[in-house]
Structure 1
Amino acid sequence: MKWLSFFRTIQAKVIIIYVLLILIAMQLIGVYFVSAMKTSLTSNFTKDLQERAELMSVLAAKTLGGENESEDDPVESLRVMVNNLFNLNGAEIQVLDSTGRVLTTSLPTHADYVGTKNTQTVVSRALQGIRDNEEYIIDDDNIRKKVVAKPVIYNEKIVGAIYIVASMSELYGTMQRINNIFISGILLALGLTAVLGVILSHTITHPIKELTRHARAVAEGRFTEKTPVFGSDEIGQLSQAFNYMTSRLREALSQNEEEKEKLASILTNMSDGVIATDDAGRVILMNRRASEMLGVEGEELAGREISSLLGLEEPEAESLAQGGEVGSKLLEFVPREGGQPVMMRVTFTPIHRREIGITGTIAVLQDVTEQEKLEASRREFVANVSHELRTPLTTIKSYTEALESGALEDKQMGPRFVGVIQNETERMIRLVTDLLHLSRLDSKEAALHKEPTDILEMLEDVEDRFSFQMKQKRIRTLIEIKPGVSTAMLDRDGIDQVLDNLISNALKYTPDGGTITMGAAITEDGMLSLSVKDTGMGIPKKDLDRIFERFYRVDKARTRNLGGTGLGLSIAREIVRAHGGSISLQSELEKGTVVTFTLPLKDEGGSAT
């Protein structure tokens, strides 16, 4: 298996290709070389035989033609010539007469051929005067032989033939030795080629392996490692490009992580809730603020649809699931476990992806509960102001018209009508004054002038200011100062106004013979606590939460008849808040009311000048 995987590597492929190229090249060269060598050797061998046969035919022509200058036997002369002059290794030379009968042979072992007729085809062709006669034969011993026959012509007459048959074993032996040498050379060359291929492939594959290793490191997030550059060739340039790409990728990922952290931080700390859905309307992301607003946890969102989460109607849910732009919608959401209802403005925006289309929706949830409450309070405030101003204006207009109609001449009705107009005018002046005071407090334009104030003295002054009204209604006034109360940094005019409003309300709603108690104490957290307690009619429990709202009255008709504007407690609350304190009210029907407000003893909280 290991070898199989090795053969799949680039290094093995380079080695194999390199060796195969060399092998094919050497095989082509070898085939051409061996073929050319065989052709050359065979041609030379045949040519040598042809030349010997030609020379033998010339020398034997006179003897066979009957012209013999020596006294020896012609056949003996031919035998001597064949044996001595034309001796060939592994070859047989026969001299034939014109009938094809063997006159002599160079091989003693074939002496019995003398006198017999040679019937070879090449002999017949030679006796016919054909000069180019040759052929290959394989004898009984499986030896290749070359046969050449030449006619012997004397005086333009064929007087015989020369027959030569030569063994080609030596020639083929030589060729076999050359082939063996060539094969040995090929094997040696292939061995050297394989070694060189390993070295060459290593120089190529080693940088590639390094690139692969560093690519895995980059894939695993290790961007600090650099690929070594082994040269300036293409692979070296690739390594440099890879290092540059790694650095750019590191920078891009760092910027991406930074942007992702910024986005996550923004989503987490946004005052608005954000919900992201997929193309099917299922929630895939929700920030912490959205979870708080909806009262759900992150693990509850798996596969949940935003339409059911927000309680959308079926047409809106289908439009949202299809990625349609639902727009903006005001919803009232009641959290689980009996939480307070929340007014939310939900804005839906589709997510578009290039070449795909709408892939989801972003829903932005804005808690507009306070805004809606403020808007409702503003509308109610405008309505109350209009009503409070319209009532005295209507009265003034009616009495003015009556005076114009002649009532002014009536000595009894005239002064009475003028007195009513004067009272209503004073009432409007008080209302406008209180509204201006509230406006300055809301806009922080009412500067506080804090100074060391004796608490006991301040309460006694309040008691003196209302002593006449107290005596008229036979109301008893008490001042209770707890130990530790002495002085505090207060805006004396502002706190006097708070106490005057509280004492005035206590006087209005406490029956004759009742008691009003002003108290001062130090709380556990070091704050000054001032309270006004009466034994009046009290306030219903359902009205306690709204008692400090502007123009809010428990008994509107009675309060208006008593001359109140409905702004006293609101002004008191704003003054106390400007000091950095708080105010609260406890009351029980037919038992009385206690209004308590706390103030810092030192100059802290609020804006003091």
Structure 2
Amino acid sequence: MQLIGVYFVSSMKNSLTSNFTQDLQARAEMLAVLAEQDLGGSGGKSVEDSVESLRARVNNLFDFSGAEIQVLDASGKVLITSQGSHADYVGRKNTQTVVSRALQGIRDNEEYMIDEDNVRKKVVAKPVISDGKIVGAVYIAASMAELYDTMQRINNVFLSGMLIALGLTAVLGVVLAHTITHPIRLMTKHATAVAEGNFAQKMPVFGSDEIGQLSSAFNYMTSRLRDALAQNEEEKEKLSSILSNMSDGVIATDENGRVILVNLRASSMLGVNNNEIAGRHIALLLGLDPEEADALITGVPASALLQLEPQDQSEPIVIRVTFTPIHRREIGITGTIAVLQDVTEQEEMEHTRREFVANVSHELRTPLTTIRSYAEALDEGAMQEPQLGERFVGVIRNETERMIRLVTDLLHLSRLDSNEAPLRIQPVDVEELLEDVADRFSFQMQEKQITDRVIIEQGIGAVMMDRDQVDQVLDNLVSNGLKYTPEGGSIMIEARRSGGLLAISVQDTGIGIPKKDLDRIFERFYRVDKARSRNMGGTGLGLSIAREIVKAHGGTITLESEFGKGTRATFTLPLPGEGREAQ
């Protein structure tokens, strides 16, 4: 009733005020139209006759209680007032804002005011326009006392109704309270018993009203709770089975970080048995600092990478530990679940990927930087000097070719990795193969005064292989020998049988490879002498491509070297009847 009363009274007030204002506006508009005939000078009337005519109209047509009507000339002087007590206003200027606005030609002028008797009044003013000129104004100030008296009576009616309703509600509440409280007390007693674990309690149903429906719902809840507890026990057994057989390790701790549960996978990853883990602090178990462990088990940060050396494993493993705090409402963190994932292989792959991306970026950046520098030099005037410009263009050409070789090698490696470069296997004469290789490099060997020998074991004829791919392997090995063999050295290419395989080796008398670098020599972009290899035009991918090609043929490639004395690279291919056959 209060809400309805507030809305109704507010709407009623707005409606009455709006109607009151509209009535005043209409009266003022009509009076302005009538006053136009007298103030505009039409009809040849004198000023006194016009004023008398206006006074008669105001007194006869527009006289209503509680209102004062004034007619003003163009300067704002009062010509007529409807209230005799204000007769002294005649001839004086009305300086109110609404009058000033009306004399400026503004039609919509209204405002509230409170007079000396503390009476609210609504004031409106309208301009009197004749032949497009403002010749005066009409001013009406009407009392709103009756309107507010009406509103007060309406408020009293609503207040009386509300008090009566409150009294009836109080009486009804006392009667209904006794009817409701008895079943509620009984239900409280049964709920306490159910909370203590006695699910045999049943609430009597007194009727089909709301209390009866609540009693039925309570009984249904009790039965459902009993079933839920039984199902919870079953789910607990399932969870225990899942924890025992899952591939990730799981460790549960209490709020102090003490281990209370661990599955078999976690104990296996840590290299200890369950009996040794229970009760230990997780910081000691995982080798964490106490401060770091406290931050982790509270969830900041949520995960960490750890390198562990289990007692039963020779190599360390990398595990990702994800900590999830266990929250209980109104208590906070009551424990932590730590999930252990063996990410050793993923971390190794990620390290390889990062290293590969860094190497590719470095290999591309170096020639690009050189090209940009020389291009800028050409742009700044080097082209005007033929010899200098020709040398700069040659450098740009060489660097561009080096990038092309790098990209070509990368594409070749990519095709080999994804098996998108199928081998075209065919019989190939080994003697012809090796002689062709020696012929291709004969000119370069003569320039460096390097002697070459080709040795082929007796009885080796045709072998099944992809001629182009094996040519690439031999070219790479012989090219490396040429690069790192000083003048006057020698290179020997040999083919022989070795345990049912064809072994082809390229041996040089070059500078050799340090022993520490032999294990990594087949890695992509790995160079023993990075600066020298790059200056010689190498991409660092040749041996990697050679290894992939040999691997695709079903063979292996090895490197033997002694620093300062030379290097021997050997790769094997299946002989006919021993491995790959013609396709």
Q: From the superposition, tell whether residues 605 and 360 of structure 1 become closer, same or farther in structure 2 (CA, over 3 Å).
A: farther
CA offsets, 1:176-206, max 9 Å, x none?
xxxxxxxxxxxxxxxxxxxxxxxxxxxxxxx
Q: How much does 1:564 deviate?
A: 0.9
Q: From the superposition, tell whether residues 509 and 287 of structure 1 become closer, same or farther in structure 2 (CA, over 3 Å).
A: farther
1:541-552 aligned at under 5 Å gives the runs 541-552=515-526
**1:384 and 2:356 equivalent?**
no
Letter in 1 for 2:258: G
CA offsets, 1:296-352, max 9 Å, x none?
5677656554432321221354577x7979732111224459944433212234679
Match of residue 343, structure 1, among 318, 321, 324: 318
CA offsets, 1:35-84, max 9 Å, x none?
xxxxxxxxxxxxxxxxxxxxxxxxxxxxxxxxxxxxxxxxxxxxxxxxxx
Give the TM-score of the pair, scaled to structure 1: 0.49
Give the TM-score of the pair, scaled to structure 2: 0.51
Secondary structure of the 2:412 match is helix
Name the structure 2 match of 1:567: 541
CA offsets, 1:92-113, max 9 Å, x none?
xxxxxxxxxxxxxxxxxxxxxx
In structure 2, how many angstroms separate the alpha carbons of the residues matched to 1:297 and 1:545?
37
Q: How much does 1:444 deviate?
A: 2.4
Mapped contact 1:276–1:285 kept (Cα < 8 A) = yes
Secondary structure of the 1:448 match is coil
1:503-522 aligned at under 5 Å gives the runs 503-522=478-497
Mapped contact 2:510–2:566 kept (Cα < 8 A) = yes
In structure 1, how many angstroms separate the alpha carbons of the residues matched to 2:380 and 2:252?
74
Match of residue 533, structure 1, among 491, 499, 507: 507
In structure 2, how many angstroms separate the alpha carbons of the residues matched to 1:314 and 1:260?
29
Q: From the superposition, tell whether residues 324 and 399 of structure 1 become closer, same or farther in structure 2 (CA, over 3 Å).
A: closer
Secondary structure of the 2:323 match is strand
**1:307 and 2:307 equivalent?**
no
**1:489 and 2:464 equivalent?**
yes
Mapped contact 2:556–2:571 kept (Cα < 8 A) = yes
Letter in 1 for 2:322: T
Mapped contact 1:283–1:306 kept (Cα < 8 A) = no
Q: CA RMSD in A?
A: 4.1
Q: From the superposition, tell whether residues 406 and 357 of structure 1 become closer, same or farther in structure 2 (CA, over 3 Å).
A: closer
Q: From the superposition, tell whether residues 302 and 552 of structure 1 become closer, same or farther in structure 2 (CA, over 3 Å).
A: same
Match of residue 553, structure 1, among 503, 518, 527: 527
Q: From the superposition, tell whether residues 337 and 274 of structure 1 become closer, same or farther in structure 2 (CA, over 3 Å).
A: closer
In structure 1, how many angstroms separate the alpha carbons of the residues matched to 2:295 and 2:421?
52
In structure 1, how many angstroms separate the alpha carbons of the residues matched to 2:560 and 2:528?
14
Q: From the superposition, tell whether residues 540 and 336 of structure 1 become closer, same or farther in structure 2 (CA, over 3 Å).
A: farther
Q: From the superposition, tell whether residues 348 and 262 of structure 1 become closer, same or farther in structure 2 (CA, over 3 Å).
A: closer
Letter in 2 for 1:430: R
Name the structure 2 match of 1:598: 572
Match of residue 410, structure 1, among 366, 385, 389: 385
Secondary structure of the 1:412 match is helix
Q: From the superposition, tell whether residues 318 and 452 of structure 1 become closer, same or farther in structure 2 (CA, over 3 Å).
A: same
Mapped contact 1:325–1:350 kept (Cα < 8 A) = no
Q: How much does 1:401 deviate?
A: 3.1
Match of residue 418, structure 2, among 443, 446, 455: 443
Name the structure 2 match of 1:86: none
Name the structure 2 match of 1:214: none
CA offsets, 1:488-524, max 9 Å, x none?
3322211211111111111101112222223334444
Secondary structure of the 1:584 match is strand
Unaligned 5+ residue runs, structure 1?
A: 1-248
The count of corresponding residues between Structure 1 and Structure 2 is 350
In structure 2, how many angstroms separate the alpha carbons of the residues matched to 1:323 and 1:403?
62
Q: How much does 1:455 deviate?
A: 2.8
Name the structure 1 match of 2:258: 281
Q: From the superposition, tell whether residues 583 and 300 of structure 1 become closer, same or farther in structure 2 (CA, over 3 Å).
A: farther
Mapped contact 2:243–2:263 kept (Cα < 8 A) = no
Letter in 2 for 1:372: E
Q: How much does 1:561 deviate?
A: 1.4
Q: From the superposition, tell whether residues 309 and 544 of structure 1 become closer, same or farther in structure 2 (CA, over 3 Å).
A: farther
Match of residue 562, structure 2, among 588, 591, 594: 588
In structure 2, how many angstroms separate the alpha carbons of the residues matched to 1:424 and 1:487?
40
Q: From the superposition, tell whether residues 424 and 483 of structure 1 become closer, same or farther in structure 2 (CA, over 3 Å).
A: same
Unaligned 5+ residue runs, structure 2?
A: 1-229
Secondary structure of the 1:493 match is helix
Name the structure 2 match of 1:182: none
Question: Greater CA deviation, 554-563 or 368-377?
Answer: 368-377
In structure 2, how many angstroms separate the alpha carbons of the residues matched to 1:398 and 1:357?
63
1:86-101 aligned at under 5 Å gives the runs none
1:308-327 aligned at under 5 Å gives the runs 308-318=284-294, 327=302
Q: How much does 1:562 deviate?
A: 0.9
Match of residue 398, structure 2, among 413, 419, 423: 423
Name the structure 1 match of 2:303: 328
Mapped contact 1:579–1:607 kept (Cα < 8 A) = no
Letter in 1 for 2:449: R
Q: How much does 1:592 deviate?
A: 1.6
